[in-house]
Amino acid sequence: MVTIFGSIIARRLRDRLVRLADQLAATPRDLSATVVRSYRDRRIRELGLSLQQAMPSAAVHKVASILAAAGRSVEQGCRLSERSPFHCLRATERVDLEQALVDFIG
């Protein structure tokens, strides 16, 4: 049985490992699946928060939809266009989001 305290310790250890991996520039195949997922989830949340700051009146669902569409677009090798759903972003915000996703996805 996992206690709340044990869960907190495990989360802190995982976060510490993610920070260490960042510092050592370890590749995902060198890390456990849990650490890789934790890193991915954290980066997606950071990107979502950045989008939310760029569009403070947007609903969380809209931000998530934009982020998902941007990820699909970058994975397909396409640039983020001025069309929906990216039309609500300024050109610099689209470029920044695209670059962050390229760096993240690889």
Question: pLDDT at residue 5 above 50?
Answer: no
pTM over 0.85: no
Give me the pLDDT at residue 94, please: 92
Report H helices in the chain.
4-24, 33-54, 60-75, 91-105
List, for residues 52-102, the tens digit of each pLDDT value.
988 899 999 999 999 999 988 988 889 999 898 999 899 999 999 999 888
Tokens 């759903």 correspond to what residue? 85
